[in-house]
């Protein structure tokens, strides 16, 4: 398994599938040393087919991320739905989204983890999508030294995320997805080959640094040379310049580039509770520190290089939790500093994206963070404990009397020399037993005597050596570009004597010399002939070569102590026998209180005391002591000194041997790795050769297939043109819904019929559902659910949908499932939508007309009913005035028929449906009404009905009703004699086999007279019955069978045989 040299994170959302396919299909094969991680926003409930879709456009392995798997080179990883992905130490991790609201998976979380885990080997790419996800994470990758790309908004289907990447993330390159692949290969290959940090022109490099330092006020000479060079190279490559000289010309023409370079050199990688296990260890040591403090004490903490503030805020939360747990009340002051003013401004606000809380425990999120429209904000009582300010750790004086310094992952960006100069400063800033908190890749180096180790794994140290470094140490620091002692370029300090006098007491009168850490003579003062002199040969400013031999051993020992511990050292007074008068001599070495460019100087003082001055008691031997014993003591002291010097040399030699041994092991390991890499390259070459042969064969086959496909394409284009013409003419549009991915495709007509632009209309199901009329939405969704559940064979729905101008039109939508996944669930549906607005409007108009007609008919019915009542009333008045019996009988017949007509009218027009009526209800009610209103006694008449369920048109019902009234009237007048037992009337309607209906009326009266049966006589009533039967186009019969019988066989309108 080959580990990736670069990790390329890709974020996308709406419109991202097309962009991903273009990007991956254009990434050259020579990027095999990279791994790709895709965070594509997906609905949590969908089973993604993104892996299958992308596998079609790339030869690289495409796989879905499994939690805990190690990254492999030349592999494309896809974040599964409803998960966030991040990288820690080359291992992929999945976790449920921090926020229920917001895009999933989070692009910012992925990019942040890359910035932390592989800062200068990370590449961030943001493609099409809505919102701003990825912008902040892209900026973190850029700040960490990685490359950043954003899709050109003009080529993105949705440009929200690309715009955020450009504005928030400060993307290095803005390209189309097709161009990105080639540019990636170019950048990553140039990154390690064309321009290496060692090959940069030193003079031109210094010019860039000098211009940058003057612009920013930050002296970058103390930073790691290779880091600075590597970042400048990245900037040169991003601008497509060929060398530093061309870049210098670009800076001269574009002064604003210095600010871009300054921001690129600043390293702002940080996060809340970075390395959570380390914070647990720190919590234990902080508890011990708090328990040793008094109630009135204040706790002072300094966080240099705080970036955007996550580290000081994490420490503030941790301290607050500890104080609550210990039930302590104590003033907490946290000083958070950085040279990046924009980062400081961000930190002061205390507002962060919600994704940045991935390492924050759940209980802390609820307790210390509140949601805002921009993300989340730190609680006010935490923010007010922290003072943010601009501060240069190298140039500016430190904060003092501190209980703790958190300087994590800052020292690693400084050179070894600067680190050695900063460590005593950090030591000096701390109170005794103060805590120093470093990053996992940082150590205290050679300063074991200044700090003790509290936890080596998690880099927690404690101050133990109580040396006071005077504040004048920083007096010479006046900022880059301003005159300062020693700034001229040589080691000779400017106005060094004034600094020496500041160190010595005002009444000091002993001769002295000043040397540097290499024991080179810088300056001397006073008469030193007794102790030093020049030797024959070439001149050397090595002080040890000038010193008298009898003083060399002891002075070398003292100098070693002074340099190692940076403290003063001195010998006791001892007798010295020069050629002149003998005397007592004490040698003192003091570290000089001066630091031009952080260089060390030492003052060596020769304090002389004449024997004649009364030196009795200065040594352990009096003037009357034995001179031999004194000499023996002096020799023993000298021997002891030589032994100590020898021990120092032995320790230094052992240290050198260990370093050489370690270097040798590293060289051996490197040699083995190179050998292994060579073997892998040879194997890869063979594989590439085999792949090339296969590609040649495949190319020949593809060329033949392409000819066939070209012909098919022409046929398909013709068919598509015909289909589009048909769709346009019929106001039709097709649609396709990928239920597994949520993607919706459709022909342009589906949205152009509504007045929308198909290029800008979102291709999502939600976009269409939002346009459906609220009254139709549930029925529409119910039809789709029933089809998906298998309850109906197809989705079929008519609904109103909103047009661009705000009106609604009617759509008729039909579709069905055409593909299922491996588990049998629907994965793809296709369908057709028809604009039926004209038809629907016509139907609605017709319904409106019918309602208006019904209202008119009901009004007419009301007036006709009133007219019937009025006519009946007039006849009744006339009856009161007529005495002639024949006239009265005639008027009674007329009145009876009018009442019958009124009954029929009432039965018909009080029915809800004015076009048809059910005979099984209509005829019995009509007969009952006729019998109730009859003038003759009818209360004893028995009525039976056998009417089968039949619905007839209104005209047929009128004819049957009048016929029934007339036949009942005739029975009451002529069939039933007075006193007849059980007079009976029967009405029946039957369905015949030939499709006709048979209406049958019979009574048990006296029957029809013969002249009526023989048709020699016919009254008005029977003539009316026959006329009504003729209107029904029926066959009328009358006969006697235990009474009178009348039948009509007829065909309903519309049922006639063709």
For residue 77, pLDDT beyond 90: yes
Query: Do 601 and 742 fall into the same domain?
Result: no
Query: Do 452 and 500 fall into the same domain?
Result: no
> How high is the pLDDT of residue 520?
83
- Cα–Cα dist 308/347, whole Å: 5
Q: Is residue 225 part of a domain?
A: no
- Of the three residues 473, 505, 535, the one that is the final residue of a domain is 473
Print the domain residue range for 365: 276-473
Q: Phi and psi of 362, rounded to 5°?
A: -55, -40
For residue 492, pLDDT beyond 60: no
Q: Report helix, strand or coil for 126.
A: strand
Query: Do 19 and 142 fall into the same domain?
Result: yes
As annotated, the active-site residues are 13, 41, 133
Distances (CA, A) of 21 to 12, 458, 1032: 12, 44, 75
Q: Is residue 600 part of a domain?
A: yes
> How high is the pLDDT of residue 507?
44
Query: Do 456 and 524 fall into the same domain?
Result: no
> How high is the pLDDT of residue 100?
62
Query: Do 345 and 419 fall into the same domain?
Result: yes
pLDDT bracket for residue 985 (50, 70, 90): very high
Distances (CA, A) of 1015 to 1022, 1023, 1026, 1040, 1042: 10, 10, 12, 14, 20
> How high is the pLDDT of residue 38?
94
Give the chain's mean pLDDT. 79
Among all chains, which residue has been given the structure tokens 């049957």?
Answer: 960
Q: Which residues contact 617 (CB under 8 A, 6 or more apart)?
A: none
Question: At 415, which CATH number?
Answer: 3.40.50.150
pLDDT bracket for residue 888 (50, 70, 90): confident
Q: Is residue 480 part of a domain?
A: no
Query: Do 185 and 45 fall into the same domain?
Result: yes
Q: Is residue 815 part of a domain?
A: yes
Distances (CA, A) of 916 to 595, 910, 958: 114, 12, 10
- Of the three residues 417, 442, 473, the one that is the final residue of a domain is 473
For residue 676, pLDDT beyond 80: no
Question: At 574, which CATH number?
Answer: 3.30.450.20
Write a three-state SS string for 955-1022: HHHHHHHHHHHHHHHHHHHHHCCCCCCCCEEEEEEEECCCCCEEEEEEECCCCCCHHHHCCCCCCHHH
Query: Do 335 and 416 fall into the same domain?
Result: yes
Residue 369: how many CB atoms within 10 A of its CB? Answer: 23
Domain count, the chain: 5
Contact (CB, 8 A) for 571 and 558: yes
pLDDT bracket for residue 618 (50, 70, 90): very low
| Beta strands 808-820; 795-802: pairing state | antiparallel
Tens of pLDDT, residues 239-250: 777 778 888 888
Q: Which tokens go with 464?
A: 């133990």
Q: Is the four-CA dihedral 430, 436, 438, 443 of positive or negative sign?
A: positive
Question: At 130, which CATH number?
Answer: 3.40.50.180
Query: Do 748 and 827 fall into the same domain?
Result: yes
Query: Do 618 and 739 fall into the same domain?
Result: no
From 417-431, 433-447, 474-488, the region with the lowest mean pLDDT: 474-488
For residue 1055, pLDDT beyond 90: no
Q: Is residue 612 part of a domain?
A: yes
For residue 594, pLDDT beyond 60: no
Q: Is residue 874 part of a domain?
A: no
Ranked by mean pLDDT, the top range of 12-26, 496-510, 866-880 is: 12-26
> How high is the pLDDT of residue 729?
62
Q: Model-level pTM greater than 0.85?
A: no
In 730-746, which residue ranges form alpha helices assigned H by DSSP? none
> How high is the pLDDT of residue 823?
86
For residue 377, pLDDT beyond 80: yes
Q: Which tokens go with 1031?
A: 């209107």
- Of the three residues 795, 811, 835, the one that is the final residue of a domain is 835
> How high is the pLDDT of residue 880?
81
> How high is the pLDDT of residue 617?
45
Q: Tell me what percent of the residues of the chain surpass a pLDDT of 90.
A: 20
> How high is the pLDDT of residue 71?
93
Q: Is residue 302 part of a domain?
A: yes
Query: Do 15 and 134 fall into the same domain?
Result: yes
> How high is the pLDDT of residue 176?
92
For residue 362, pLDDT beyond 50: yes
To the nearest 10°, report the CA torsion of 242, 247, 249, 251: 160
From 45-49, 54-58, 336-340, the region with the lowest mean pLDDT: 45-49
Kindly report the length of the chain. 1058
pLDDT bracket for residue 686 (50, 70, 90): very low
Q: Is residue 976 part of a domain?
A: yes
Query: Do 1030 and 922 fall into the same domain?
Result: yes
> How high is the pLDDT of residue 786?
92
For residue 267, pLDDT beyond 90: no
For residue 488, pLDDT beyond 50: no
From 114-128, 910-924, 1025-1039, the region with the lowest mean pLDDT: 910-924
Return contacts of 889-892, CB within 8 angstroms, 24+ apart: 892/935
Tell me whether residue 34 is exposed, middle or buried, using C-beta atoms within 10 angstroms of its C-beta: 0 to 12, 13 to 18, 19 or more: buried
Query: Do 508 and 445 fall into the same domain?
Result: no
Tens of pLDDT, residues 802-832: 998 989 999 999 999 989 988 888 989 999 8
Averaged pLDDT for residues 745-772: 85
pLDDT bracket for residue 633 (50, 70, 90): low
- Cα–Cα dist 843/210, whole Å: 83
């Amino acid at each position: 398994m080959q580990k990736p040299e670069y990790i390329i994170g890709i974020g996308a959302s709406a419109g991202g599938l097309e962009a991903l396919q273009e990007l991956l299909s254009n990434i050259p094969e020579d990027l095999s040393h990279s791994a790709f991680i895709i965070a594509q926003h997906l609905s949590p409930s969908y089973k993604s087919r993104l892996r299958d879709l992308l596998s079609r456009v790339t030869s690289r392995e495409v796989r879905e991320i499994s939690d805990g798997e190690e990254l492999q080179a030349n592999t494309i990883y896809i974040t599964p739905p409803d998960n966030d992905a991040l990288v820690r130490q080359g291992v992929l991790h999945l976790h449920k989204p921090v926020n229920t609201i917001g895009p999933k998976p989070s692009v910012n979380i992925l990019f942040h983890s890359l910035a932390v885990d592989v800062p200068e080997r990370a590449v961030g790419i943001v493609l099409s999508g809505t919102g701003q996800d990825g912008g902040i994470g892209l900026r973190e990758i850029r700040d960490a030294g990685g490359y950043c790309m954003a899709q050109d908004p003009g080529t993105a289907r949705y440009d929200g995320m690309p715009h955020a990447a450009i504005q928030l993330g400060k993307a290095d390159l803005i390209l189309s997805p097709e161009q990105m692949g080639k540019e990636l290969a170019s950048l990553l290959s140039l990154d390690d080959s064309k321009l290496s940090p060692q090959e940069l022109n030193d003079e031109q490099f210094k010019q860039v640094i000098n211009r940058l330092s003057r612009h920013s006020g930050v002296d970058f000479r103390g930073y790691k040379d290779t880091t600075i060079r590597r970042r400048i190279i990245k900037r040169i490559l991003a601008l497509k310049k060929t060398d530093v000289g061309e870049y210098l010309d670009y800076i001269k023409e574009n002064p604003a580039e210095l600010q871009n370079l300054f921001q690129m050199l600043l390293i702002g990688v940080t996060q809340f509770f970075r390395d959570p296990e380390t914070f647990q260890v720190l919590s234990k040591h902080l508890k011990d520190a708090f328990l040793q403090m008094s109630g009135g004490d204040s706790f002072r903490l300094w966080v240099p290089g705080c970036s955007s503030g996550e580290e000081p805020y994490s420490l503030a939360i941790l301290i607050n939790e500890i104080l609550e747990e210990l039930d302590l009340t104590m003033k907490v002051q946290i000083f958070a500093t950085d040279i990046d003013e924009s980062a400081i401004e961000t930190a002061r606000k205390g507002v962060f994206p919600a994704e940045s809380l991935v390492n924050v425990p759940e209980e802390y999120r609820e307790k210390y963070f509140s949601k805002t429209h921009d993300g989340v904000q730190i609680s006010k009582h935490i923010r007010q404990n922290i003072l943010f300010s601009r501060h240069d750790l190298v140039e500016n004086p430190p904060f003092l009397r501190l209980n703790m310094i958190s300087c994590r992952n800052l020292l690693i960006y400084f050179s070894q020399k600067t680190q050695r100069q900063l460590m005593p400063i950090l030591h000096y800033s701390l109170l005794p037993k103060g805590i120093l908190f470093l990053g996992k890749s940082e150590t205290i180096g050679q300063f074991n005597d200044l700090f003790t180790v509290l936890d080596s794994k998690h880099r927690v140290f404690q101050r133990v050596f109580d040396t006071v470094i005077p504040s004048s140490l920083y007096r010479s620091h006046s900022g880059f570009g301003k005159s300062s002692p020693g700034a001229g370029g040589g080691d000779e300090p400017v106005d060094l004597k004034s600094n020496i006098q500041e160190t010595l007491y005002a009444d000091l009168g002993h001769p002295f010399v000043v040397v540097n850490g290499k024991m080179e003579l810088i300056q001397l003062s006073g008469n030193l002939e007794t102790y030093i002199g020049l030797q024959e040969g070439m001149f050397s400013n090595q002080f040890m070569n000038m010193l008298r031999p009898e003083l060399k051993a002891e002075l070398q020992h003292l100098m070693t102590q002074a340099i190692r511990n940076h403290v003063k050292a001195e010998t006791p007074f001892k007798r010295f026998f020069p050629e002149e008068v003998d005397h007592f001599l004490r040698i003192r070495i003091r570290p000089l209180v001066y630091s031009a460019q952080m260089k060390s100087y030492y003052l060596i003082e020769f304090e002389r005391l004449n024997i004649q001055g009364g030196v009795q008691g200065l040594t352990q031997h009096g003037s009357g002591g034995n001179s031999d014993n004194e000499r023996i003591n002096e020799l023993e002291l000298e021997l002891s000194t030589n032994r100590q010097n020898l021990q120092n040399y032995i320790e230094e030699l052992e240290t050198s041997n260990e370093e050489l041994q370690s270097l040798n092991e590293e060289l051996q390991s490197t040699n083995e790795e190179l050998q292994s890499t060579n073997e892998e390259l040879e194997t890869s070459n063979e594989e590439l050769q085999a792949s090339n042969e296969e590609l040649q064969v495949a190319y020949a086959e593809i060329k033949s297939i392409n000819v066939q496909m070209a012909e098919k394409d022409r046929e398909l284009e013709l068919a598509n043109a015909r289909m589009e013409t048909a769709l346009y003419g019929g106001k039709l549009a097709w649609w396709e819904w990928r239920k597994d991915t949520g993607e919706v495709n459709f022909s342009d007509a589906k949205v152009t019929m509504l007045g929308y632009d198909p290029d800008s209309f979102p291709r999502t199901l939600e976009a269409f559902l939002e346009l459906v009329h609220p009254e139709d939405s549930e029925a529409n969704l119910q039809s789709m659910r029933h089809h998906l559940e298998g309850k109906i064979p197809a989705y079929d729905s008519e609904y109103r949908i909103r047009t661009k101008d705000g009106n609604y039109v009617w759509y008729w939508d039909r579709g069905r499932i055409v593909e299922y996944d491996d588990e049998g669930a629907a994965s793809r549906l296709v369908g057709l939508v028809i604009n039926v607005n004209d038809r629907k409007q016509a139907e609605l108009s017709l319904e409106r007309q019918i309602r208006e007609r019904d209202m008119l008919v009901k009004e007419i019915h009301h007036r006709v009913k009133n007219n019937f009542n009025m006519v009946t009333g007039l006849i009744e008045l006339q009856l009161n005035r007529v005495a002639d019996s024949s006239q009265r009988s005639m008027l009674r017949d007329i009145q009876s028929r009018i009442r019958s007509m009124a009954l029929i009218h009432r039965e018909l027009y009080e029915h809800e449906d004015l076009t048809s009526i059910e005979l099984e209800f209509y005829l019995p009610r009509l007969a009952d009404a006729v019998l109730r209103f009859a003038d003759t006694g009818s209360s004893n008449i028995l009525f039976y009905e056998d009417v089968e369920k039949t619905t007839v048109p209104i005209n047929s019902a009128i004819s049957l009703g009048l016929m029934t009234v007339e036949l009942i009237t005739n029975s009451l007048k002529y069939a039933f004699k007075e006193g007849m037992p059980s007079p009976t009337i029967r009405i029946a309607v039957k369905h015949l086999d030939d499709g006709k209906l048979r209406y049958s009326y019979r009574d048990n009266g006296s029957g029809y007279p013969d002249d009526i049966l023989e048709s020699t006589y016919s009254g008005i009533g029977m003539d009316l019955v026959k006329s009504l039967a003729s209107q029904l186009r029926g066959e009328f019969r009358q006969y006697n069978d235990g009474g009178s019988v009348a039948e009509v066989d007829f065909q309903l309108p519309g049922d006639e045989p063709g």
